[in-house]
Structure 1
Amino acid sequence: MSVRTYIRGSTYWIRYENAKKANALTEKMYDQINSALDEANEHKQTTFTVLTGDGNYYSSGNDFSPAEWDTKKAASKDVEIGFSRWVRRLIDHEKILLGFVNGPAMGMSATTLALMDYIVCSDKAFFYLPFPILGVGPEAGASVTLPAALGVSRANGLMLFGERLDSTDALKCGFVGKVFPHDEFENRSVEMVEGFEKLPRHSLLASKSLIRGPVWREKMRGITETELETLRKLFGSEETQKRIEERFMKNK
């Protein structure tokens, strides 16, 4: 249960390796992801940072099992939640962020994709936000980024009603840039990033600094902080605590 990192060419790879639990994200994994993003951002020879998953899932989102999660504690303003630290790092990341979605992406792992610069996915991937099931709400800027990327009705279908977005529709609406056959995903993704690495580094990073520069970052920090305040209130509600407990206690 960990996060593996390695450098290949001018790309820093971050791979979720909790395949037995569909790459569910634990506090330990958040610590590892955050450390990896810091290292990738400071690495002077890399241009790209890739986030991807091991096995059949990109990630099933937060691990809400009792051993990993305390909903009442998460409601406290004095507790720093791991995923909020992750979101800040994605917003501030200076390298080109690539999301290589090898399988289903759920919850936090799906919403954070909209903070990345380019996304590709397997044809077996889908995107699912269990907000209404758990009694929670948008995070990682999704209240703004998803309507902008998907259109209002499709985004609200995901966030309000728990609808799924499959890989074909994600490509049609422009949420992802390419869809690769699942059995070719690893090789095709590597080939694609190797092609990107031939482009001029100084130009790529300068362009990103304009596309997602100080104005965008300040805006997204404000949006994500407002979402976090709402999430804390929801985590403090008995209804949300009951829903999370009922859904995840059975997996204890």
Structure 2
Amino acid sequence: MTEHVLVTDEDATRVITLRRPEKKNALTQEMYAAMSNAIDTAQNNPEIRCLIITGGSGVFTAGNDLDDFMKASSAAQGEARPMNAVKFLHSLVHNTKPIIAAVDGIAIGIGTTLTFHCDYVLASTAATFSTPFIHLGLVPEGASSLLVPMTMGHQRAFEMLVMGRPVSAQDAKEAGFVNAVVAPGHTEVEARKVAREICALPAEAVALSRKLLKQPPDELVRRIEQESHLFSERMSSKEAMAAFKAFFARKKA
């Protein structure tokens, strides 16, 4: 496990808190493993009725820690995606418990993608959602190429996923993937209120209704595998290599 992910069970809710503020909660492979474990171990625990993913006040996540990501990609020896990142995506797909995202600040890459696997999303007025894969010469991941256009339509999805334009909290609400916009610093408090509301409902009826609303897991897994194959190919493309080289050069400057 890692100190960068805090998992607490309060009443019937499991709260998964990203806490790497010095790196804007950029995700390492260890963090992915910790989040996967928190989701997976909740599945057969009847005491856990709801899940919350939060980054705390001021930030959600800056997406992949690119240094860690590149090392993991090299070590994967042909795997479509680093093992723990893939496991986390599969954990989201196979999760059967209502899951709430509390987004206060930036949600980049997988930070945005994971919200489309959530059942309820709260965002502060300071939140922004972006999927800048295109700027790194890459393609969407996490079944976002399926879920995003289903949620917000092709044109808005193209603007976000292909053009890489960021989306404000209010625009995200209008697009349909944010339920409510609240003041900065209040997303987690509001998420706990929503969790209590959900936990007060009949558990079996909630589980069955949620299953009816969600895309079949097999369909999501197929799209993740398709994206992962293309993502892996793109990692060795001239465009991606040039983009990563430029990124790390800027980072050193």
TM-score normalised by L of structure 1: 0.92
Contact 2:133/2:161 (8 A) holds in 1: yes
Partner AA of 1:106 in structure 2: I
Contact 1:72/1:235 (8 A) holds in 2: no
Q: Does 1:69 align with 2:70?
A: yes
Give the Cα separation in 1 of the matches to 2:122 and 2:76.
Answer: 32
Give the Cα separation in 2 of the matches to 1:248 and 1:89.
Answer: 31
Give the Cα separation in 1 of the matches to 2:29 and 2:248.
Answer: 16
Share of identical aligned residues, percent?
Answer: 24
Q: Deviations over 1:8-39 (max 9, x none)?
A: 11111111111111110001111111111111
Q: CA RMSD in A?
A: 1.9
Contact 1:95/1:205 (8 A) holds in 2: yes
Aligned equivalent of 1:166: 168
Q: CA 1:178/1:107 → structure 2, altered by over 3 Å: closer, same or farther?
A: same
Q: What are the residue-to-residue correspondences of 1:130-169 with 2, within 5 Å?
A: 130-169=132-171
Equivalent of residue 15 in structure 1, options 14, 17, 31 = 17
Q: What are the residue-to-residue correspondences of 1:228-239 with 2, within 5 Å?
A: 228-239=228-239
Aligned equivalent of 2:190: 188
Give the Cα separation in 2 of the matches to 1:237 and 1:198.
Answer: 51
Contact 1:171/1:178 (8 A) holds in 2: yes
| Structure 2 residue runs without a partner (length 5+) | none
SS of 1:4's equivalent in the other structure is strand
Contact 2:125/2:184 (8 A) holds in 1: yes
Q: Deviations over 1:182-219 (max 9, x none)?
A: 1333322222322222212121112122223xx71111
SS of 2:201's equivalent in the other structure is coil
Give the Cα separation in 1 of the matches to 2:166 and 2:80.
Answer: 34
Q: Deviations over 1:68-114 (max 9, x none)?
A: 52354457138743221111111100111111112211101111211
Could you tell me how far 1:230 is from its partner in structure 2?
0.3
Number of aligned positions between the proteins: 249
Could you tell me how far 1:174 is from its partner in structure 2?
1.3
Give the Cα separation in 2 of the matches to 1:69 and 1:249.
Answer: 15
Q: Does 1:28 align with 2:22?
A: no
Q: CA 1:198/1:79 → structure 2, altered by over 3 Å: closer, same or farther?
A: closer
SS of 1:7's equivalent in the other structure is strand
Q: CA 1:118/1:241 → structure 2, altered by over 3 Å: closer, same or farther?
A: same
| Structure 1 residue runs without a partner (length 5+) | none
Could you tell me how far 1:57 is from its partner in structure 2?
1.1
Deviates more, 1:193-202 or 1:157-166: 193-202
TM-score normalised by L of structure 2: 0.91
Equivalent of residue 177 in structure 2, options 166, 171, 175 = 175
